[in-house]
Amino acid sequence: MDLWSSNRDNLGKWSEPQLLPNTINSKDNEGPSVLSPEGDEIYFTRCPRMKKVDLGCEIFYSKRKGDSWTQAKEVKLKPEDADTLSCGHPAMDSEMKIMIFSADFPGGYGMHDLWISEYDAREETWMTPVNLGPDINSIGDEMFPHLSDNGDLYFSSDSYEGFGGLDMFKAKKIGENKWGQKGRAHREKALVRVDDKKELINPPRIQEKEFKEPEKISLRTPKDLVYVNFLSKLNQHL
């Protein structure tokens, strides 16, 4: 897997995807990534493809210099001598000073938890990660975080009440580097569009419906747009 880029014009049309340079892409797998608001920094996941070697994924970053990108460097987030552990799926705040990511580090609550690290501008390094705690993490997997402009946290989980597998959840920001509220359930709306491959993409228009039983959902066409009301119930297992 490699990372590609595409530009959208004023009419909303996307250009032909272009492969990012080999300063970012490698013989390994490059995956979930996030760009700075100015588009001059990228943080992304890289997972080794070496056979018979137990190495975990890492987070890398690169900076844009003119028309090129600098050689990607690893973000030091793992504990010492923990090459077999994995971290990835970086999400950043608008100031690029806070990173939330998924990892299977020791001291977590389940398989993969969401962790947070702050950038130390003086030392030019990322600080020791801190687990987001039981208001967010469960006994299962929490992955693919995203921070909205207002600071709310979106993520996927396979352990909270949902429709099966990984579902999308939202935790509202309730303080500095704090999200969610123990024992409190939030009913939120997730805007989705279902395309021919049953993938979710951002829609240009909205058709609002409420589904309580996913097995009874029937769309007139595979490209109908829907608002899905879903229950984000935090701390179900606590």
What per-residue confidence (pLDDT) applies to 184?
A: 32
Mean pLDDT of 189-214: 38
Percent of the chain with pLDDT over 90: 46
Q: Report the alpha-carbon distance of residue 173 to residue 56 in Å, rounded.
A: 30
Q: How far is CA 135 from the centre of its chain?
A: 18
Q: What is the average pLDDT across 4-30?
A: 93
Which string of DSSP letters, residue by residue, matches 175-229? ETTEE--TT-EEEEEEEEEB-TTS-B---SS--B---S-GGG---SSTT-EEEEE
Residue matched to tokens 């490699």: 2
More confident residue, 120 or 162: 120
Nearest alpha-carbon partner for 91 in 24, 154, 157, 167: 154
- Cβ atoms 208, 178 nearer than 8 A: no
pTM (predicted TM-score)? 0.73
Confidence of residue 174 (pLDDT cuts 50, 70, 90): confident
- What does the pLDDT read at residue 164? 72
The answer to whether residues 115 and 131 touch, using CB atoms and an 8 Å cutoff, is: yes
Sequence-separated contacts (24+) of 176-181 with Cβ below 8 Å: 177/98, 177/116, 177/118, 178/135, 179/132, 179/135, 179/136, 179/152, 179/153, 180/135, 180/136, 180/153, 180/234, 180/235, 181/135, 181/234
Q: What is the pLDDT of residue 180?
A: 80
Is the pLDDT reported for residue 113 higher than 70? Answer: yes
pLDDT band at 17 (very low <50, low <70, confident <90, very high): very high
The helix (H) or strand (E) run that includes residue 33 is strand 29-35
Element (H, E) at 170: strand 167-171
Asked if residue 222 has pLDDT above 70, the reply is no
Joined tokens for residue 49: 């493809």
The letter for the amino acid at 215 is E
Out of 35-44, 75-84, 113-122, 128-137, least confident range: 75-84
Over residues 149-175, the mean pLDDT reads 84
Tokens of 37: 């608001």
For the segment 24-79, what is each residue's pLDDT rounded down to a tens digit? 999 999 999 999 999 999 999 999 887 766 788 999 999 999 889 999 999 999 88
Rounded CA separation 43/102 (Å): 13
CA 102 to chain centre: 8
Domains of the chain plus CATH, in order, are: 4-183 (2.115.10.20)
**Burial (CB count within 10 angstroms: exposed 0-12, middle 13-18, buried 19+), residue 233:** middle
> Given a cut of 60, is residue 16 above it in pLDDT?
yes
**What tokens does 29 get?**
């797998």
Q: Are 47 and 3 in contact (CB under 8 A)?
A: no
Instruction: Output the pLDDT for position 190.
Output: 45
**pLDDT higher than threshold 80 for residue 203:** no
pLDDT at residue 160 greater than cutoff 60 = yes
User: Which pLDDT value is given to residue 182?
Assistant: 35
